[in-house]
Amino acid sequence: MRPREAVLAAFALLGLAACSEAPPPGETSSTTYSRIVTLAPNLTELVFWAGAGELLVGVSAYSDHPPQARELPVVGDAFMIDHEQLALLRPDLLLVWQGGTPAHVVDELRAIGYEVETLRTNSLDDVSAAIVRIGELTGRHESAALVATTFEDRMQGIRERYHDLPAISVFYQVSARPLYTVNGGHFVSELIELCGGANVFADLDELAPTIDVEAVVDRDPEVFMAGSDAGEDAFSEWQRWPQMAANRHGNHFVVPGDVISRATPRLLDGAVAVCEALEEARKRRQLP
């Protein structure tokens, strides 16, 4: 992965930037839109999941799933918007990501005259709520509701399968330099909990905090876990502490980054990968 792509991927997972608030829960719109531009890759996916992919006229950079998204005009990325391209596309609705699109960008777009809808996608519940909202905005109520309900039901099935298993402590590493993790409010932490794991930094206040190496050593997780976009040597520096539980048991797991870094229904695949990793970790800690 190229450096710029790695930075954008980190921002996609972390949601570091501030953004204006989303509409109150349950609020609906009587207007339906037919020319939509998304300003985050996860929102592009959600539009397709809601059954409204044909209404997209433009997307943000790195909107690569489903494959049809790659054929759409790109209007910018997390750092910059091509206003000339955006104007040429004549969208009647912009979808922005709360936590990923900076507040000043949202304010500027609204000041220009664009209709902007902010969607929150920090948690698993947010995923289904965002799909339903997109369905309301595009007149795809039934297809969106079906996808949202299926997502919720399958996640519940995974939860029921793993909730009685012995707990195991996990450190999820977003990046090594700087050292980032996630707190208990992030969807990655929810996946870990879903699989019977315990995020050792669930108690921190920030959604995606920077932490000290010493803090990880002190909390001594039984499992090191990271997305594949963190690189093959994601855990190499932790070998300096062979006494740590994760190192003693060889519990170093890299899960597919493309299904765990974006808040979309593909998190179901991410959940399966996390659960399988933690199952293997439980077996290893039983070995001498």
> Distance between CA 102 and CA 64 in Å, rounded?
22
> Distance between CA 133 and CA 22 in Å, rounded?
11
- Kindly state the average pLDDT of the residues 157-177: 93
Let me know whether 139 and 190 are in one domain.
no
> Distance between CA 33 and CA 141 in Å, rounded?
13
Residue 179 pLDDT greater than 60, yes or no:
yes
Residue 5 pLDDT greater than 90, yes or no:
no
Let me know whether 65 and 180 are in one domain.
no
CA separation, residue 255 to residues 134, 172, 194, 271 (Å): 29, 11, 15, 10
Q: What is the pTM of this model?
A: 0.85
Let me know whether 20 and 151 are in one domain.
yes
User: Among the three residues 157, 177, 205, which one is the final residue of a domain in this structure?
Assistant: 157
Let me know whether 141 and 189 are in one domain.
no
DSSP class of 55: G
* pLDDT, position 215: 97
- Quick one: angle between helices 41-49 and 124-138, nearest 10? 60
> Distance between CA 261 and CA 29 in Å, rounded?
29
Residue 11 pLDDT greater than 90, yes or no:
no
> How would residue 286 be classed by pLDDT, with cut points 50, 70 and 90?
confident
Domain extent, residue 119, equals: 3-157
Let me know whether 48 and 146 are in one domain.
yes
Let me know whether 188 and 132 are in one domain.
no
Distance of CA 221 to the CA centre of its chain: 23
DSSP class of 205: S
* pLDDT, position 115: 97
Q: Which of 185, 37, 29 is nearest to 99 (CA)?
A: 185
pLDDT in tens, 215-230: 999 999 999 999 988 7
* pLDDT, position 59: 98
> Distance between CA 121 and CA 281 in Å, rounded?
29
pLDDT in tens, 108-148: 999 999 999 999 999 999 999 999 999 999 999 999 999 99
Let me know whether 259 and 151 are in one domain.
no
Residue 109 near residue 21 (C-beta atoms within 8 A): no
User: Among the three residues 124, 157, 190, which one is the final residue of a domain in this structure?
Assistant: 157
Let me know whether 178 and 64 are in one domain.
no
Q: Output the domain CATH number for residue 45.
A: 3.40.50.1980
Let me know whether 278 and 152 are in one domain.
no
pLDDT in tens, 67-94: 999 999 999 986 789 999 999 999 999 9
Amino acid at 208: A
Mean pLDDT taken over the chain: 89
* pLDDT, position 78: 67
